[in-house]
Amino acid sequence: MNNPLRAAAWMAGAIASFSAMAIAARIVLSDLTPLQLMFYRNIVASGVLLCCLPLIGGHRLIVRQPATQLVRHSVHFAAQYAWFVAISLIPLAQVFALEFTVPIWSLLFAALLLDEKITPPRLAAVALGFLGSLIIVRPGLVPVEHGTVVMLIGAFAFGIAHTLTRKITLTDSPLSVLVLMNFLQLPMAAIAFIFDPIVPPAWQWPCLVSIALAALSAHYCLTKALSLAPANVVIPMDFLRLPLIALLAWWIFDEMLDLWVFAGATIMLAGIWINLRAERKRSSAPRLS
């Protein structure tokens, strides 16, 4: 199925969900630590998924790669922790821009873990991703902030998690990844929470619920968009997250708009676009029998 207009509508939902999650997280992180936030978010998300299990169907939750799922969700937990730490330390636009390096890392890990070839377009995507990161961070010209380093580590971890997700979905349903992720990450967050427990004040609960629902909504909308249009149509739409979050952060938190962030993210997007176009041509090319 190829329906760009419907895909764009679902992608708009994903962009709105990711932005809402970041805004709510910035508010909550003024009083909670990232691990405390993750603990309560997982409680809410797991509760929602438990209620939805009869609708999901047990056949979609069969796990054929339990070890890979466990590794994937552990790495993803670390990546999410880094994402929330970065949200508490650096401007939201910078967090989202550095997150655009995730597809670049995924290309490299796909070559290492899935034996995929590093083609010239993929190499160009990696090079432009690295260049875009340098423009955003500007080492040697401006002090490299702690939050920037944390977000780059988080993007690195997201790249591993995304590559393992591709491996898992060769045999397991994407819904099994989403459900198991929340159920496995809840005890991970709970262990850390034991050492620093806190009960959020009543006014924070709407934000915590919003974060959990936005996380579920974002992943669902993104999956639906990818089911309706090719990745080279859907993924560039995700770039709209950057101007949206930059404007929201400027309006709500009085964060300055940084042209270097937009310049670096644009170069990274160009690399991703080059690779996606090449992949589409390669997949549509007639094969000799």
pLDDT in tens, 222-270: 878 877 776 666 767 777 888 889 999 999 999 888 888 888 888 888 8
CA 39 to mean position of chain CA atoms: 18
Band the pLDDT of 2: cuts 50, 70, 90: low
Enter the pTM of the model: 0.86
Residues pairing with 142 in the sheet: 139
Residue 53 identity (one-letter amino acid): L
Q: Which two tokens stand for residue 221?
A: 């909308």
The DSSP line for the chain is ---HHHHHHHHHHHHHHHHHHHHHHHHHTTTS-HHHHHHHHHHHHHHHHHHHHHHH-GGGG--S-HHHHHHHHHHHHHHHHHHHHHHHHS-HHHHHHHHTTHHHHHHHHHHHHS-----HHHHHHHHHHHHHHHHHH-BTTBPPPHHHHHHHHHHHHHHHHHHHHHHHTTTS-HHHHHHHHHHHHHHHHHHHHHTS--PPPGGGHHHHHHHHHHHHHHHHHHHHHHHHS-HHHHHHHGGGHHHHHHHHHHHHH-PPP-HHHHHHHHHHHHHHHHHHHHHHHHHHSPPP-
pLDDT in tens, 121-163: 878 888 888 888 888 888 767 777 899 999 999 999 998 988 8
The C-alpha atoms of residue 222 and residue 243 are separated, in whole angstroms, by 18
In terms of Cβ atoms closer than 10 Å to its own Cβ (0-12, 13-18, 19+), residue 100 is buried
The backbone torsions φ and ψ at residue 142, rounded to the nearest 5 degrees and listed phi first, read -130, 150
Band the pLDDT of 286: cuts 50, 70, 90: low
> Which segment of 1-10, 21-30, 62-71, 153-162 scores lowest on mean pLDDT?
1-10
Residues pairing with 139 in the sheet: 142
284 has a pLDDT exceeding 80 = no
| Bigger pLDDT: 276 vs 104 | 104
pLDDT in tens, 165-191: 888 888 888 888 888 888 999 999 898
Band the pLDDT of 1: cuts 50, 70, 90: low
The C-alpha atoms of residue 166 and residue 144 are separated, in whole angstroms, by 33
pLDDT, residue 230, reads: 64
Q: Pick the most confident of 41-50, 54-63, 114-123, 134-143.
A: 41-50
pLDDT in tens, 109-126: 888 887 777 788 878 888
Read off the pLDDT of each residue in 72-94 and give the average, rounded to a whole number. Answer: 94
Mean pLDDT across the chain, nearest whole number? 85
